[in-house]
Structure 1
């Protein structure tokens, strides 16, 4: 009899039951589906971009698996529980950044990692991509909005401490992303337009000061190369020239999977990390890039939907910031590979090779799932 009843259920009833099950498991089905599609697609692209390197592919697949588990675990936590631990997480993150300065592992001229021999090597700045928006959201959620001048100053101080420590490593790309993640919370909180206009007006003198007192020589060369890549075609301009050549040679439909020449003949540097979208453009053409952008657009749209539906101020501020920061990841990487922005070393989300960044990104989407599925959290934090 139960079998006959189940067979008589309409498709809408079946979907409702499945949705209810995912809700109880605190999983957002739309986000999970989109992330799995990106995971599968990235492995195909990475296999070609890495020169058919199976070891790299297995490591990436392992990182995806670990990241998905972390995402699903984080999704089980009530956002109210998360907010209680935000001050400790912020303090711990800053302490780890200080530890990087004192005992950090140096590679390729930068000190960004903490290395525990035989155990783990990790980059503390990655965790601040999640902790920073949580901190500002936690701070502002219990204050009146739009934020007053005093609250803006305190928020900026909380943002600038880790940003300054990351700039010393040096890691300009990550520091700018963390700065953006904190500023997005202020924006979602209803920052008054006069403060936004003032910040835009102050950008020019701040940029000049950074050029003379903060930026390293290699970072200045990247900016100069962005303005005129042909000025040093065999040096600093090589990356941009080759990436644009790869994207352009793909045309509309591309040369076909594993048929790219720029990456396979080693013309394209960092083809499996920062410049991986050039490989996608060469092998799958404009169609392939548009499909990837469409998946990104759906992810961002879902994040904004969760932001609008969030039942608390803390959840709304945090979800909005995480979604907008993800957009910046995509925009900056594609902009720098296509020559529209200076090269700042930002990987393409879910596509570029990198374990720590994968786990960090998936952790952020785990938080989005938690905000969306814990519907009974009504008390303001």
Structure 2
């Protein structure tokens, strides 16, 4: 790699990510301390291995000009679709949390939907880049909608509503920035509202309906569907300003009142143990991270690079808002993890790869003069 490229490496973005990951290590350890020290360390060690692999992935990605990914976008798309199909095959895909979304590789379990996010962002950016100014009619949108619709349908078949929503937000954001005619945006919103009765009766599964009902009124079933969000809000509120302390024994975290507290509800752990100060600090870090992505998308050398960063921005924006929102009752529970902080090897590796792509694009934002 040319040393001139390294001068454009966005150190502030990288340090922000490292800080979030370190907070994740501490939070995961605190969230699992009731299992014993040895078990807690095993959780952190697994996350640390994923982080190291992520750093290696960043090193590999930034050494390759991102335009090379654009040249092979059809192959990347095919690989993503094949992975999403493979996970649906009985005996290949592993069921976890009611969804057939994982593939057991022996040493680790891979979640194809997570890795497919990056592949779809790259391929969708390339497709939209080739159609700049031609997104004004239904005919123009046929191929882009098929491009994003196929992976969304495959993810819904798992079923994994949370990741399907992430893909929808990513594609919607990228289409908006690519210059889609706004009549389609408003038309889609109206169509969603009008078709909601059909979706409710014929598309949504019972547990998905229950989650929406619980979102509106969690106390409708406080010991059933509403239990998770009620316990989460109690934990967040009990942290008050400064929190109860990281390793106190009389916390809701240590007593295992919080469900999936090392993954989906990790923000509740942070809020309870470090209070408003700690929770606000995490929110500020994410706000800086998202603002930085928007800025970097503006200074990218070309539309292809800019669209990739925009796709990554909307991926993180939705996941952060949804995860933090569901812990305080402002968003429905979907099982979406908090980027860089929640436990999960596939999720952390995907997030690191996404950061590597952003660094790759920003490092090449200026033409090199020899």
Q: TM-score, normalised by structure 2?
A: 0.92
Q: Is the 8 A contact 2:299 2:362 kept in 1?
A: yes
2:352 alignment counterpart = 362
1:91 alignment counterpart = 78
How far apart, CA to CA, are the structure 2 residues paired with 1:22 and 1:120? 37
Shift of 1:146: 5.7
Q: Does 1:74 align with 2:64?
A: no
2:319 alignment counterpart = 329
The 3-state SS of whatever aligns with 2:87 is helix
Q: Is the 8 A contact 1:188 1:321 kept in 2?
A: no
2:42 alignment counterpart = 55
Q: Does 1:107 align with 2:96?
A: yes
**Which of 133, 148, 157 does residue 136 from structure 2 map onto?**
148
Q: Is the 8 A contact 2:132 2:179 kept in 1?
A: no
Shift of 1:183: 1.7
1:303 alignment counterpart = 293
Pairing of 1:197-346 with structure 2 (within 5 A): 197-259=186-248, 261-346=251-336
How far apart, CA to CA, are the structure 1 residues paired with 2:3 and 2:119? 30
Shift of 1:22: 7.9
Aligned residues: CA RMSD: 1.8
**Which of 109, 122, 134 does residue 121 from structure 1 map onto?**
109
How far apart, CA to CA, are the structure 2 residues paired with 1:372 and 1:261? 43
Shift of 1:23: 3.6
Shift of 1:297: 0.9
Q: Is the 8 A contact 2:244 2:251 kept in 1?
A: no
Runs of 4+ in 1 over 6 A off after TM superposition: none
Report the more deviating stretch, 123-132 or 308-317.
123-132
1:8 alignment counterpart = none
Q: Is the 8 A contact 1:256 1:284 kept in 2?
A: yes
Shift of 1:328: 0.8
301 and 108 in structure 1: CA distance in 2 versus 1, 3 angstrom threshold: closer
Shift of 1:66: 1.1
Unaligned runs of 5+ in 1: 1-19
Pairing of 1:109-188 with structure 2 (within 5 A): 109-116=98-105, 118=106, 120-145=108-133, 147-149=135-137, 150-188=139-177
The 3-state SS of whatever aligns with 1:112 is strand
Q: TM-score, normalised by structure 1?
A: 0.90
How far apart, CA to CA, are the structure 1 residues paired with 2:230 and 2:265? 12
> How many pairs are equivalent?
358
Q: Does 1:31 align with 2:13?
A: yes
Shift of 1:138: 0.4
How far apart, CA to CA, are the structure 2 residues paired with 1:61 and 1:366? 17
2:178 alignment counterpart = 189
Q: Does 1:373 align with 2:363?
A: yes
Q: Is the 8 A contact 2:93 2:104 kept in 1?
A: yes
Unaligned runs of 5+ in 2: none
307 and 231 in structure 1: CA distance in 2 versus 1, 3 angstrom threshold: same
234 and 196 in structure 1: CA distance in 2 versus 1, 3 angstrom threshold: same
1:46 alignment counterpart = 28
How far apart, CA to CA, are the structure 1 residues paired with 2:359 and 2:206? 42
131 and 205 in structure 1: CA distance in 2 versus 1, 3 angstrom threshold: farther
